[in-house]
Structure 1
Amino acid sequence: MSSIPGDLAAFLVEAKRHTYAGMDDDATAAPLLRGSKQLEHRAAPYAYRDIYFGMGFFVGQETVSRDDRVVWSMSYSGGVRAEITDRDIFLAIYKFLRQALLDVSVEYPFRGPHLFEQAGMIYRNEVEGALDRFHGVETIARQDGVPLYAVRYSGGLLR
């Protein structure tokens, strides 16, 4: 099992870039749970699955299996602030989020980078821990500091 973390981190980066961050919901597979979105990526011996419910406020879980046994998981919840109802703003925030998430790294393969700025918005990701056990908060704000979005996440290696 000691070889899992290095391989797992690289696989997570690949999986995230080939699902929501890189393809939005175009990476959707047939959902196991009614009303959910399900994104999947496979590269033997690993398989990644991200299942979530909701859009403005969402709750989800990512899992990675190795040889058909789940070895890692991360749960998350949050979304765009409730007072944001303009569809164009909503879509712009999620487009920006996907750009930030494409910058995921092997060192921190959970969400996006510590800091990402573009299109008048700032993405911040505060994380504690490592691949085996971690938790964090990611936020998006306008450059003038007005908060737009927040998500909390946690997870780690299963034993």
Structure 2
Amino acid sequence: MTFDKKDFLGFLIESKKATYASQGGDPSVTPLIDGSRQLEYRSGDFLYRDIYFGMSYFVGQETIYYKTHPVWSMSYGGGVDKKFDIKCVREIYSFLRKAMREITSNNPYRGPKKFIEGDLVYTDTNEGDIGWFRGDEKIIRSGEEVYSLSYSGGFLR
């Protein structure tokens, strides 16, 4: 499949901002897989689909389709330390969504390299490029790690 990489990158960032980062975990469509949550975003010939399971600890996969063909994917898994109650989990995920809305073309996987608000610090470290990458994100609150996630992906061949 041939598509403009600049258009692809713009769509990737747009779709990530428009789904979980903005709307949270409420499904935007009926999930294809029982027990999952599914978010989708479409623009032109591109479709973004994020399917995941769980909440405090979760695993999922994002896939981008071009003209109905899957062309890129990212798998991820992580969550909030199990010692926290649901109120705390929601506060951490609210902060995570803010960080994810700061995604850039230089770091188009989850959020920015670093984002700080009050006593919460989000960091994302990764290696590779949009074609083949892996990374880790963390949230630290008052010096304590409260959330972590690992991810990897790239263009499908």
- TM normalised by structure 1 equals 0.94
Other structure's SS at 1:49 match:
strand
Give the counterpart letter for 2:34 in structure 1.
R
Tell me whether 1:104 sits opposite 2:103 in the alignment.
yes
Map of 1:44 onto structure 2: 44
Equivalent residues of 2:135, 2:151 under 8 A apart: yes
1:36-66 deviation line (CA, Å, top 9, x unaligned)? 0000000011000000000011000000000
**Structure 2: where are the runs of 5+ without partners?**
none
In the TM superposition, residue 7 of structure 1 has moved relative to its aligned partner by 1.4
In the TM superposition, residue 82 of structure 1 has moved relative to its aligned partner by 1.5
Map of 2:151 onto structure 1: 153
Q: Distance in 2 between matches of 1:62 and 1:155?
A: 9
Give the counterpart letter for 2:134 in structure 1.
H
Q: Distance in 2 between matches of 1:45 and 1:98?
A: 26
Map of 1:32 onto structure 2: 32
- TM normalised by structure 2 equals 0.96
Give the counterpart letter for 1:158 in structure 2.
L
Map of 1:68 onto structure 2: 68
Runs ≥4 residues deviating over 6 A: none
Tell me whether 1:20 sits opposite 2:12 in the alignment.
no
Tell me whether 1:94 sits opposite 2:61 in the alignment.
no
Give the counterpart letter for 1:156 in structure 2.
G
Q: Distance in 1 between matches of 2:18 and 2:59?
A: 20
